[in-house]
């Protein structure tokens, strides 16, 4: 069965439920997600996007046109992140050879259309250029030089354009210990302090973030991420934010309170928080039951960000199901985003609207965070 007919059968359920804020139904809320996010006190509601070369699974020839209209010209998104183009693999494919072409496609569109840009990601064990890992016995000094050179060049290339940089991505194991990446094996946690120290020097205006997944409810891993924040603060190295990637699962998702606790755990340290890669996958095919769970899961995640002082914005990891990374990586799972294959808005879209509109008074001041020294 085509997803749109499934959606049609799911929609009456959605429309019949009372809409928070007293509206008659979701059609009342037609100004776009970013509009309601700002009204709720967030800086933005955004969507990551990729360069057209990566979008090979587009089902219809007209997809790009409709896609670009929603991505850039509607009021849905006030922010974007390049899904791939700023990663090491693309930006320094060979040692000392830098290439910003892929990343520039998205950053120039962001500038043209007046969107905040989150930049992603400087130091990460994955999608790393093969030359870095081809040699496992770099000396400490060689690897320090490699990190400093990479961060200096790449953060320098986008200097002044990034609202935030994900400086270090996914440094932790699930139990909160450090992942045994090449960087960690050779330098220990010094690779983290070095990356942040260098980024702070290069771009004084970009907010510097630590970014990871499975930080959406309190756990040993959230404690590990808090340890990273404190490590930097103790060393007087700037860290401004923690990014909760929020790659979640519809059938087993955090409650609103769990999300709130996790976000507060970071906000208490004086850093801001953002949901940076939100998507909520389900066991395919989509049906009325799993789409309803997905809606609830989106509502909890976005609702928590709205409610906690210090959570400044939400980015979904693309917005259009056929362009999601999920089916490639999680067999049997998919449809994690807000727009279905035929560009209809899924129930989850209205879950986000409900989360963004059920507060009339913004709970947060403009600029969260403080320096502990």
Report the residue number, 67 or 325, with the smaller CB distance to ligand XIL: 325
49 lies in the binding site for ligand XIL (CB under 6 A): no
Distance of CA 280 to the CA centre of its chain: 12
The verdict on whether omega for the bond into residue 173 sits within 30 degrees of 0, i.e. cis, is no
Decide if 277 is catalytic: yes
Please provide the DSSP assignment of 36-97 as one string: HHHHTT-SEEEE-B--GGG-TT-SSTTHHHHHHIIIIISSS-SEE-BSSTTSHHHH-SBTTB
Structure tokens belonging to residue 47:
């969507």
Decide if 170 is catalytic: yes
Helix axes 220-234, 256-267, angle to 10 degrees: 20
Residue 119 in contact with residue 165, Cβ under 8 Å?
A: yes
In angstroms, give the least distance from the CB of 126 to ligand XIL.
7
Structure tokens belonging to residue 9:
């059968």
Q: x/- contact string, 102-141, with ligand XIL (CB under 6 A)?
A: -------------------x--------------------
Q: x/- contact string, 176-205, with ligand XIL (CB under 6 A)?
A: ------------------------------
Q: Which of 92, 277, 296, 354 is catalytic?
A: 277
Pairing mode of beta strands 247-249, 44-47:
unpaired
Q: x/- contact string, 202-241, with ligand XIL (CB under 6 A)?
A: ----------------------------------------
Q: x/- contact string, 7-36, with ligand XIL (CB under 6 A)?
A: ------------------------------
In angstroms, give the least distance from the CB of 186 to ligand XIL.
22
Q: Which of 76, 92, 170, 272 is catalytic?
A: 170
325 lies in the binding site for ligand XIL (CB under 6 A): yes
In angstroms, give the least distance from the CB of 373 to ligand XIL.
30
Distance of alpha carbon 263 from alpha carbon 370, whole angstroms? 16
Pairing mode of beta strands 247-249, 272-283:
parallel
Binding site for ligand XIL (CB under 6 A): 83-84, 121, 169, 245, 277, 325
* Residues recognised as catalytic: 170, 277
């Amino acid at each position: 069965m085509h997803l749109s007919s499934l959606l049609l059968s799911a929609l009456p359920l959605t429309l019949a439920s009372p809409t928070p804020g007293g509206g008659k139904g979701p059609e009342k809320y037609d100004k776009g997600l970013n509009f309601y996010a700002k009204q709720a006190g967030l800086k933005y509601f955004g969507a990551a996007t990729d360069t057209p070369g990566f979008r090979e699974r587009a089902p219809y020839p007209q997809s790009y046109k409709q896609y670009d209209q929603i991505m850039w010209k509607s009021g849905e998104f006030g922010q974007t992140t390049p899904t791939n183009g700023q990663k090491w693999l693309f930006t320094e494919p060979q040692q000392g050879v830098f290439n910003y072409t892929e990343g520039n496609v998205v950053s120039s569109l962001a500038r043209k259309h007046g969107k905040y840009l989150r930049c992603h990601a400087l130091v990460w064990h994955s999608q790393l250029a093969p030359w870095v890992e081809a040699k496992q016995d770099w000396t400490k000094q060689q690897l320090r030089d490699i990190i400093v050179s990479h961060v200096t060049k790449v953060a320098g290339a986008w200097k002044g354009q990034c609202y935030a940089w994900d400086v270090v991505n996914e440094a932790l194991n699930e139990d909160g210990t450090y992942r045994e990446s090449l960087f960690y094996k050779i330098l220990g946690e010094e690779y983290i302090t070095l990356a942040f120290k260098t980024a702070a020097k290069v771009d004084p205006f970009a907010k510097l973030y630590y970014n990871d997944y499975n930080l959406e409810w309190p756990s040993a891993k959230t404690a590990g991420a808090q340890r990273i924040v404190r490590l930097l603060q103790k060393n007087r190295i700037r860290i401004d934010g923690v990014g909760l990637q929020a790659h979640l699962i519809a059938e087993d998702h955090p409650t609103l309170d769990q999300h709130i606790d996790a976000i507060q755990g970071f906000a208490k340290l004086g850093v801001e928080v953002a949901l940076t890669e939100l998507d909520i996958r389900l066991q395919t095919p989509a049906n009325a039951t799993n789409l309803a769970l997905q809606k609830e899961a989106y509502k909890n995640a976005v609702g928590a960000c709205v409610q906690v002082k210090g959570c400044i914005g939400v980015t979904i990891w693309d917005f259009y199901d056929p362009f999601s990374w999920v089916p490639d990586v999680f067999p049997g799972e998919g449809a994690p985003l807000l727009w279905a294959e035929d560009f209809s808005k899924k129930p989850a879209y209205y879950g986000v609207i409900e989360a963004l509109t059920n507060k009339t008074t913004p709970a947060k001041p403009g600029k969260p965070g403080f320096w502990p020294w």
